[in-house]
Amino acid sequence: MIDSNAAAASYVGLNAEEFRGRPITDFALESSPGRIRDICRSVVNGHSSSYETRIKGRVGVRNLLVAVAPVQVSGRTLVLINQIDVTDLRQARAGLRVNEERLELAREGANLGIWDWDVVNDVLTWSEHQWQLHGLEPRPGGPGPDVWQHAVHPADLARTLAELKASLKSSDQPYSSEYSVIMPDGSIRRLFGRGQTIRDANGRAIRMVGINMDVTARYGAEMARDRLIWMLETERNRLIEILEALPVAVGIVDASGRIILGNAAMKKLHGPVIQSMIATPRGEWIGYGADGGRVAPEDYPMRRALRLGETTLPGIDFLLRAEGGTETWYRVASRPLRWKDGMVQEEVAAREAAQQRAAHAERMQALGQIAGGIAHDFNNVLQAVSGGAALIENRPLDVERVLRNARMVIDAAKRGAAITSRLLAFSRRGDLRAENVDAAALLADMADVLSHTLGGSVVCALDVALGLPPLFADRGQLETVLVNLATNARDAMPLGGTLTFAARAENVAFGTLHLAGLRPGHYVRIVVSDTGSGMDQTVLSRVTEPFFTTKEPGKGTGLGLAMAKGFVEQSGGTLSIDSVVGSGTRIYLWLPCATGVPGVMVEQAVFTGSTDPDKECVLLVDDDPIVREILMLSLDDAGYTVLAADSGSAALSMLESAARVDVLVSDLTMPEMDGLALIRAVQERHPNMPAILLTGYAGDGATLAVGGAISGTFSLLRKPVSGTQLVDRIKVLMESRKAASRT
C-alpha cells in the first residue's frame, strides 16, 4: 500500500501513517498474495473492475465494496483502489429477507389476499392469493379495475363502489366492505375487504392498500341464523294466534306460580293484569275430586305440576266463589313444560349455535381490521427498505448517499419491529423487558410532562406514599399505559378536572382472598383517577374488550384498555376499574415489587486456558442461519471470540470441548430443545454460567421467560436486537462477574 487517505485506513482501525507500506494481505480475508498480484497486473494492463470482499483489522470484520482502476503518477502506472464499507447494508438486506419471509408466512397463515390500488393511474396490483379468492387465474400486469368489477356479484357492485368512493373522499372513513363473487363452478363466495387510503401532502388520495379474506362460512351461518329466527318468530306468532282464538283459558305459569303468558280468555278470567292463580286468586277456588270430595290446596293441578312434574288430565273441577259472591264452575288441567326436552331443547341449541357463529364473525371482522393495518404498515416499511437498498445499489460509490440511505433502511427496520411489538403486547404474547422501576420518580415525571400536554383545564396531582419500593415491569410499556389512561381521563373531562396518580405498597398474604384476584406476594398499586363523566355498568362490563370504544368513529381504536390489561397481567399483576356516572373513574394497576436486581446475574469465571486470554468467548445458539450470521459478525466486530451452534444439542457438545466460554447467548424458540431448556442444561453443568435469552415471539413460553428473568436465572432481550444492544448486555454481565470476583 503506497498511500491512502484516513477513511481507507480507518476501515482496519489504523491511521494513514500506520496503514502506508503495509501489505494488503495483512487485512484481506479472501485474497491471497497471488490473487492480489493478478488483480494489479490486470489493472495495469488497462482493465478496471469492482468486487466485494471482507477485511479484518482492529475494528473487526467489515464488508467492503471495492473498485480498482489504473492511474498514471509520474510516468508510472499504479492501481487506485476505492472502497466503501457496506457491512450495515449487508446486515440490513439480511434482515429485510427475514422480514419478507415472516410477512409471507403471516399472510399465508391468515389466508389473506393483498391488493394495492394506484388511484392516480388507476392501476390495481393483486397478490396471487387475491386472484384465487376471486376465482381467477393469476396473470402478470394486474387485473385492472374492470376485471375486479366484473368479478363482484351485480347485487353488491353498486354498494361496494359507493363504499370505495366514500373512503377516497373522507380521510376519517377507512374502506370496509363485504361482497359476493361468482366462482367458475357457479358457487358463491363471500369476501370481506378492508383498505387504507394513502394521501399526498395536499390530502389527495393517491393510493389504497388492503386485504381480502374468505368469510363464506360466517356469512352462511348468519343467513342460516336469520332464517332460523324468522321461522321461530313465525311459528311463535301462529301459536299466539291459535291460543288467542281458543275459547278456553290457557296460560303458562313459572316456578313461583306467576302467570307469565295468557290468552284472551285467561286475561278475562283473571283481569287485565294477570295475577297468580295460586298466590293471589280473585276469589276462593275450591277443588273437587272425581269422588266429589274436596281437594287439598297442595294437590291443585298447577301445584302438582310444578312440584312433582305431574300431568293432570282431564283435570279437576273447581268452584270459584268470586269476591262479589258469584259462583262459577271450571275444569282446570295442567301439564309441566320440560324445557330441556323436544323442540324446546332444539331451539335452545340452535340459538346457542347462532350466537357462537355471530361471535366467530365478530372475531373474523376484528382479524380483518388488524390484518388491514398490518398490510398497510408493513407495506410502508418494505417500501422504505427496498427503496433504500435499491438506491444504495444504484450508486454504491456515493459515500454520503450510501450512508443516508443505509440510515433510512435501519430506521424502517425499527418501525417494523415496533409494529410487531404493539401486536404482541395486544395479544399478550409479547416478552417484556422487565427492570427495576422507581414508581415514585416515574409518576412524578409523568405528572410533570402531562401537566403541559393535556391542556390547561386538566390539573395533574400526585399522591405517592413515602418509602415506596421499586416495582418490576417493562418501563417503556408502563409509560405507554399511563399515557393512554391519562388521555382517556382527559377525554372524560371535556370541561376540565383533576387527574391523580396515586401509588401505595400492598402485600397479599398467603391464604388471603384478594378482591382483584391477586396471588400472594408484594405489589405496588398504582391508581389513575379522574373527576370526569364516569361510566355506567353496561360500559364498565365491556370497557376492556378489544375494539370496544365509546368515542366517536375515528377518535379511538378501542385497544388502549385491552392492551393495558394484557400488559399488567403478563407482568404478574392485575387491573381493576371502578367508575360511577358523574363521579369519575379509578383504574387500579397492581404490579409486582422488585426483589433484587433482575436480569443481571453475578457470576464467577467458568473456563480458563484460552489461547487468547484477552478475548472473552461467547457461545451463540440460533437455528436461523441469517440471524446467527449477523450476530456472529456483530460480536466478532466487538472483539469477542464466537462459537456458533444451530441447535441446543450442538451447543452442549461445543461447551464440553471448548477451552473457554464466558457467556451463553441463545434464541428461545428452537426445535427439539428450546432456549429455556438449553439454559437449564448448561447451568446444571456450570451453575455460574451467565446467559442471555433472545426472543421475538415467546408464545406459551412468555410467562416462563419473564419468570426466569425475574429470578435472575438469565437476562432477557427481545428481537430484533442490534449488535450494540447485545454487546452492551454482555458487558454488563461481564462487569458484574468481575466485580463479584474482586469482592
3-class secondary structure per residue, 311-365: CEEEEEEEEEEECCCCEEEEEEEECCCCCCCHHHHHHHHHHHHHHHHHHHHHHHH
Kindly state the average pLDDT of the residues 200-217.
Answer: 87
Please check whether residues 542 and 625 belong to one and the same domain. no
Beta-strand runs (E) in 58-174: 60-73, 76-85, 112-118, 123-126
Kindly state the average pLDDT of the residues 114-141.
Answer: 86
Instruction: Report the CATH number that the domain containing residue 715 is assigned in CATH.
Output: 3.40.50.2300
The pLDDT-based confidence of 566 (bands split at 50, 70, 90) is: confident
Please check whether residues 238 and 311 belong to one and the same domain. no
Write down which residue in 85, 113, 132 finishes a domain. Answer: 85
The pLDDT score that the predictor gives to residue 191 is: 92
Grid cell locating 432: 417484556
The pLDDT score that the predictor gives to residue 548 is: 53
Please check whether residues 571 and 534 belong to one and the same domain. yes
The pLDDT score that the predictor gives to residue 590 is: 92
Does residue 184 form part of some domain?
yes
User: Mind giving me the DSSP string for 450-508?
Assistant: HHHHS-TTEEEEEEE-TTPPPEEEEHHHHHHHHHHHHHHHHHT-TT-EEEEEEEEEEEE
Please check whether residues 452 and 568 belong to one and the same domain. yes
- Burial of residue 532 (CB within 10 Å: 0-12, 13-18, 19+) is buried
The pLDDT score that the predictor gives to residue 568 is: 84
How many Å apart are CA 210 and CA 198, to the nearest integer? Answer: 11
- Burial of residue 17 (CB within 10 Å: 0-12, 13-18, 19+) is exposed
Q: Tell me how many domains the chain contains.
A: 5
Residue 144's alpha-carbon distances to 121, 138, 155, 192, 375, in angstroms, are 11, 12, 21, 20, 21
- With a pLDDT cut of 70, the percent of the chain lying above it is 77
Q: What rounded mean pLDDT belongs to the chain? A: 77
How many Å apart are CA 140 and CA 265, to the nearest integer? Answer: 75
Kindly state the average pLDDT of the residues 470-489.
Answer: 85
pLDDT tens, 388-420? Answer: 777 787 778 888 878 877 877 787 777 776 666
Does residue 423 form part of some domain?
no
Identity of residue 648: G
The pLDDT score that the predictor gives to residue 530 is: 92
Write down which residue in 31, 52, 85 finishes a domain. Answer: 85
Closest CA to 711 of 743, 738, 679: 679
Q: Is the pLDDT of residue 97 over 80?
A: no
> Residue 407 CA to chain centroid, in angstroms?
27
Please check whether residues 224 and 347 belong to one and the same domain. yes
The pLDDT-based confidence of 156 (bands split at 50, 70, 90) is: very high
Kindly state the average pLDDT of the residues 209-232.
Answer: 83
Does residue 597 form part of some domain?
no
The answer to whether the beta carbons of residues 732 and 435 sit under 8 Å apart is no
pLDDT tens, 527-563? Answer: 999 999 888 887 777 777 655 555 554 444 445 677 7
As beta bridge partners, residue 644 has 620
Does residue 388 form part of some domain?
no
Cβ burial 285-319 (10 Å sphere, 16+ → b, else e):
bebeeeeeeebeeeebbbbbbbeeeeebeeebbbe
pLDDT tens, 44-87? Answer: 888 888 888 888 888 788 888 888 888 888 888 888 888 888 88
- Taking 3-state DSSP, the helix, strand and coil percentages for the chain, each rounded to the nearest 5, stand at 45, 25, 30
Please check whether residues 455 and 442 belong to one and the same domain. yes
The pLDDT score that the predictor gives to residue 241 is: 83
The answer to whether the beta carbons of residues 524 and 506 sit under 8 Å apart is yes
Does residue 526 form part of some domain?
yes
Grid cell locating 722: 442490534
Does residue 90 form part of some domain?
no
Please check whether residues 323 and 183 belong to one and the same domain. no
Please check whether residues 636 and 679 belong to one and the same domain. yes
Please check whether residues 304 and 221 belong to one and the same domain. no
As beta bridge partners, residue 461 has 500
More confident residue, 240 or 593: 593
Does residue 657 form part of some domain?
yes
Which structural domain, as residue segments, surrounds residue 360? 96-245+338-377
Write down which residue in 280, 310, 335 finishes a domain. Answer: 335
Q: What is the pTM of this model?
A: 0.32
Cell numbers 415467546 correspond to 698
Please check whether residues 201 and 279 belong to one and the same domain. no
Q: Is the pLDDT of residue 154 over 80?
A: yes
Please check whether residues 198 and 156 belong to one and the same domain. yes
Instruction: Report the CATH number that the domain containing residue 31 is assigned in CATH.
Output: 3.30.450.20
**Alpha-helix runs per DSSP H in 51-111:** 87-110
> How is residue 212 annotated by DSSP?
E
Q: Is the pLDDT of residue 366 over 70?
A: no
How many Å apart are CA 139 and CA 132, to the nearest integer? Answer: 11
Does residue 588 form part of some domain?
yes
Residue 97's alpha-carbon distances to 379, 385, 409, in angstroms, are 14, 10, 13
The answer to whether the beta carbons of residues 376 and 352 sit under 8 Å apart is no
Please check whether residues 347 and 330 belong to one and the same domain. no
